[in-house]
Structure 1
Amino acid sequence: MLAVRMVVAAGKLHQKMLLTIMRCPMTFFDTTPIGRIINRFSSDVDIMDNNLPITCRISLNTFFLSLSTVIVVSVNTPQFLIIIVPVAVLYFIILKFYIPTSRQLKRLESMTRSPVYNHFSESVSGASVIRAYRAQDRFIKESMDRVDQNLVFYYAYFVSARWLGVRLELLGNLLILAAALFGVFSPGQSGAVVGLSISYALQATSVLNVLVINISDLQSNTVSVERIKEYSEVQSEAEWHCKNPPPPGWPRQGEIIFQDYKMRYRHDLDLVLKGISVNIRHGEKIGIVGRTGAGKSSLTLSLFRLIEGTGGSIIIDGVRIADIGLHNLRDKLTILPQDPVLFSGPLRMNLDPFDQYNDDQLWTALQQAHLSEFIKTLPGMLSYQCGEGGQNFSVGQRQLVCLARTLLKKTNVLILDEATAAVDMQTDALIQETIHNEFYDCTVLSIAHRLNTVLDYDKVMVLSNGQIAEFDSPAKLLSNQDSVFYGMAADAKLVNNFQNGGSKES
């Protein structure tokens, strides 16, 4: 029964922690090292699964065994109770001093294990860069230093157990001496009874030592349960689905309204967006530009509610996005991210993770993304296995795969987060051409990495210090030499090109 209940309890704790971590907001992962999370799911879960049940069972067995031993010796030699009371007090004092120390040492040992996992994970993922810079020796030394730091506390924990063992052995020997003296000097005791008492006292020494050590180990290992419970109570994101979802086909127009919207990444940080108010009509193509830290990416994070707002609201087609579930919202928006994300598995799975489209639709999307000819040369074509993170594709090819995935999941709102920042000019031109042709009737918000990609957009939003500095058509902004956008275009040497192009068109 104990084993079954321990397994069930461990499973429930692990399941609760897993569900909580999978639903944590992105700020949690931004502020928590990956090694710390791996440590909870590996070492702490291992202790909870394997060590705790054994320690708990041994503690119960030794407790009842030591209790029966004391009862037998006390019945045969009642004078033994004279020594058992002060020894029990000494046992209690030693435990009172040892267990808090041992628990803290175990906690420190667990904390210093996380940087070991973190460094190892970073070293494995960045092995190619480490070799390129010939920094193997430095990373090996860093790993060894972190292991040594962890072993300092592990050694202290181990030595503290020996400190306890020496004192428990001394008390146990006192019990044996007392049982022998009381047995010899008590009148009318037969040799058999004295032998029984002494043999039980000998057994009591080892049993009591094991009991005390296991009770302390039980408390120390419970730190792992405490750490798992801590991660099971991390604040989660909002609900994935709401009771009153938006109407089917939402958003039909793609009209986006920001009403005095404010946002900060964490409650203890300053505002990143400081009262954004703007109305984006159906089908408008909006280019978002600004210096580093102006709040461009924060705007897109707000649309997907990866970061919740602290004031104001965002309304899409009359629906306040804060009132609907996260899956209800994110399923209706499309994003082409700056960092192309591919998963290990078939190319088909990367294009259509939920298996919603047929082969003809997949090939059409690949053709529109100018990638079909390359895919036909791969062994297995759509069944081709993508490596870890898509490492067997170039960055530009990974971006085109993401573009094909975007074309499959076409919605009325498209967000481009510096989608062409990591590709060459030719691939950039292909992506821009496809977006203009396939998303002509959609609302497009594009964070521009190259200003020339937004010169033909309907409007340009210039952000500065979390606020809208300018919002107008590119032609009007460039006609005003005092505008911020004109200065940015002049720095990029685009002003003359745009004016020359404009005069030829006119």
Structure 2
Amino acid sequence: MDHLIEFWPILKRLTIYAAKWKKKIIIAFFLLLGASIAEVLGPILMSYFIKNILYKRQLQIKLIFIIIITFILLQIIAVFFNYFQNILFNKIAVNIINQLRNDVMQSALNQPMNQFDFQPVGQTISKVTNDTEVIKELYDTVGPTFFRSITLILIILFAMFTLEWHMAIISIFIVPITILIMSVYQYYSTPLLRNVRHYLAEINNKFNEIINGITVIQQFNQQNRFKKNIKQSSELHYIARMKILKLDGFLLRPLLSLISTIMLCSFIFLFNYFSISVFEVGILYAFITYLGRLNEPLISITIQQSILQQAVVAGERIFSLIDSPKQKYGKNTENLKSGKINIQNLSFNYKNAKKNTLSNINIEIPSKNFVAFVGRTGSGKSTLAHLLMGFYSIKSGNIYLDNKSIDSISRNTFRKDISIVQQDPIVLADTFFYNITLGRKISEKKIWQILKTVRLYSLVKSMPHGIYSTLGEEGNNLSVGQKQLLAIARILVQKPKILILDEATANIDSETEQLIQNTLSEIRKKSTLVVIAHRLSTIVTADFIVVLEKGKIIECGKHEDLLKNKGFYWKMYKMQLSSNDII
């Protein structure tokens, strides 16, 4: 009962997506109905030919010609109607899936950041791609097949009862028998189908793992071990597939053919038992034809049940993402007038974490100041940067930007006036131009100026198509340092009120770093700089430095003052000096 309660609401919600294309669906169903009627009328026409021409041996050339032409026309109509309804249903299905994918992707893009702390990205990708592809079959295969099969069954039974009701009563017994066989098939095939999908997913996962980790696999000479893993999964998939084929071979065609043969024998017996006037040869032909065609829609319906179940499961996964909570923003659309930051009694912990990542943070940063956060790994530096970006909701304490509570600021204001350059920047598989502008209206001249500033000018100039050269997937034809320079170039296009750099210069050489520092000095005239730093050489000119340890502020002051205190910051600085990290 619980299964039904879950099944029908999801199926109903999936069908709602088809409402927009209601008129086209009705046209497609009428085409399908016309094709089914044309298919069923063929045997009736042949029955009339056998009864009135062959049986009576009256060669009426004109009538024979009309019957032949009509029979051919019926077949042509059936073919064309089936072709056009198939095209129409597929167009509808693609449009629906495009809409569904847009909704899923929109929901994924608006997910709170904490959702991605625990949910693998691969699952989200699977929902957007694989699950929607399974649902596509609901619209272009399952729906039309169910309608066509039920229509065919009803029309065939109607034609049978119209021709000879005695034989029709015998024929109708094949329906419950076939349904019983299909139920048994469904019972035994469902777990096998699950195994097939499981092993196929396992094979895909292993291939993905191998491709992503190919350098490590080759480095440690692990090719044979991974080859054995793939072979083992492939063999399990093969065995599961063979079990389904054996089940199909036993329960579907042969058994249904046996039942059809028994029915046919009954017809022959009745044909010989009763007088010729009751059971005519033409009627016998029609019934034999219909009996063969009656099995196909029954088998089709059963096969589609499995796809329907998969579509509902996929729908459940998709709707769980669509219905999940979205990232919350405020309604204040007023742009920030300054880059002033005021953090009051801020404490924060991640979901399911036992301890606070940040505890009782209190900082006031004047506008157009340069503040640096330093500390060991896990001290809470990046968490603080993410909170300033509004990636996580604040439960204890508050952050004020330009004297506005961070919870009140609108999404557009956030993304326009506050920017971040992260340690591992995202590079799109697109051109240099698009990777910098990201859809913003910026002239080519300004792009070239920025490329000079971040020392990417000569690299881009050397490429075949300049700023319109396409970068590889995740920017794999760029070094880590070049990716960071590209990310900084994005920011320089439109200077924000607050700029956060999260280890943004970690992989840049000293010469380029000096140039970036000069650029950041210019940005300081218009923006507040918040730098999360590991290399302490990058923050010696900061207005003040905040030292974090285990989520708490343990020191705060200028570089020279902190060195004089000989506290935690002094130890970090000396350690980097001894390791030649500071040049």
For Structure 1 versus Structure 2, the TM-score category normalised by the shorter chain is 0.7 to 0.9
**Structure 1 match to 2:537:** 452
**Structure 2 match to 1:277:** 361
Cα deviation, residue 417, structure 1: 0.9
Equivalences for residues 394-413 of structure 1 within 5 A: 394-413=479-498
Q: How far apart are the structure 1 equivalents of 2:347 and 2:262?
A: 75
8 Å CA contact 1:39, 1:117 repeated in 2: no
Equivalences for residues 141-290 of structure 1 within 5 A: 141-165=228-252, 166-185=254-273, 187=274, 189-190=275-276, 193=279, 195=281, 198-226=284-312, 227-228=314-315, 230-234=317-321, 235=323, 238=326, 244-248=331-335, 250-264=336-350, 266=351, 268-270=352-354, 273-282=357-366, 283-290=368-375
Distance 1:145 1:318, change over 3 A: farther
Equivalences for residues 295-310 of structure 1 within 5 A: 295-310=380-395
SS in 1 for 2:438: coil
Cα deviation, residue 124, structure 1: 4.4
**Structure 2 match to 1:94:** 181
Q: How far apart are the structure 2 equivalents of 1:240 and 1:230?
A: 23
Distance 1:82 1:207, change over 3 A: closer
Cα deviation, residue 222, structure 1: 2.0
Cα deviation, residue 252, structure 1: 1.8
SS in 2 for 1:315: strand
SS in 2 for 1:462: strand
**Structure 1 match to 2:104:** 20
Cα deviation, residue 385, structure 1: 3.7
Cα deviation, residue 204, structure 1: 4.8
Q: How far apart are the structure 2 equivalents of 1:466 and 1:150?
A: 49
C-alpha distance after superposition, 1:451-499 (max 9, x if no partner): 3333432333333344444444444544445x4434433433479999x
TM-score, length-scaled by structure 1: 0.80
C-alpha distance after superposition, 1:265-296 (max 9, x if no partner): x4x45465344432332233222223323332
SS in 2 for 1:386: coil
**Matching residue's letter, 1:63:** I
Number of positions where the alignment pairs a residue of Structure 1 with one of Structure 2? 491
Query: Which of 568, 572, 576 is 1:492 aligned to?
Result: 576
Q: How far apart are the structure 2 equivalents of 1:53 and 1:162?
A: 26
Distance 1:67 1:344, change over 3 A: closer
**Matching residue's letter, 2:186:** I
Corresponding position: 1:65 with 2:152: yes
Corresponding position: 1:336 with 2:424: no
SS in 1 for 2:279: helix
**Matching residue's letter, 2:264:** I
**Structure 2 match to 1:504:** none
Cα deviation, residue 387, structure 1: 3.3
Structure 2 residues not aligned, in runs of 5+: 1-27, 30-84
Q: How far apart are the structure 1 equivalents of 2:344 and 2:258?
A: 75
Equivalences for residues 41-56 of structure 1 within 5 A: 44-49=131-136, 53-56=140-143
Distance 1:270 1:228, change over 3 A: farther
8 Å CA contact 2:189, 2:247 repeated in 1: yes
Distance 1:88 1:116, change over 3 A: same
Cα deviation, residue 407, structure 1: 1.8
8 Å CA contact 1:74, 1:80 repeated in 2: yes
Query: Which of 308, 314, 317 is 2:399 aligned to?
Result: 314
Larger Rg: 2
8 Å CA contact 2:333, 2:410 repeated in 1: no
Q: How far apart are the structure 2 equivalents of 1:352 and 1:77?
A: 75
Q: How far apart are the structure 1 equivalents of 2:271 and 2:442?
A: 87
**Matching residue's letter, 1:432:** Q
C-alpha distance after superposition, 1:229-270 (max 9, x if no partner): 52244045646986x34313x152332425434242x4x454
Cα deviation, residue 182, structure 1: 4.5
Q: How far apart are the structure 2 equivalents of 1:383 and 1:370?
A: 17
Cα deviation, residue 171, structure 1: 3.4
SS in 2 for 1:367: helix
Distance 1:476 1:208, change over 3 A: farther
**Structure 2 match to 1:365:** 450
Bigger Cα displacement from structure 2, 2-11 vs 282-291: 2-11
**Structure 1 match to 2:408:** 323
RMSD (Å), alpha carbons: 3.9
Structure whose residues are more often helix by fraction: 2
Cα deviation, residue 100, structure 1: 5.2
C-alpha distance after superposition, 1:160-203 (max 9, x if no partner): 43343144334333433444445544x5x426626456545544
Distance 1:341 1:149, change over 3 A: same
Cα deviation, residue 416, structure 1: 0.9
Structure 1 residues not aligned, in runs of 5+: 502-506
Q: How far apart are the structure 1 equivalents of 2:153 and 2:169?
A: 14
**Structure 2 match to 1:432:** 517
Distance 1:71 1:360, change over 3 A: closer
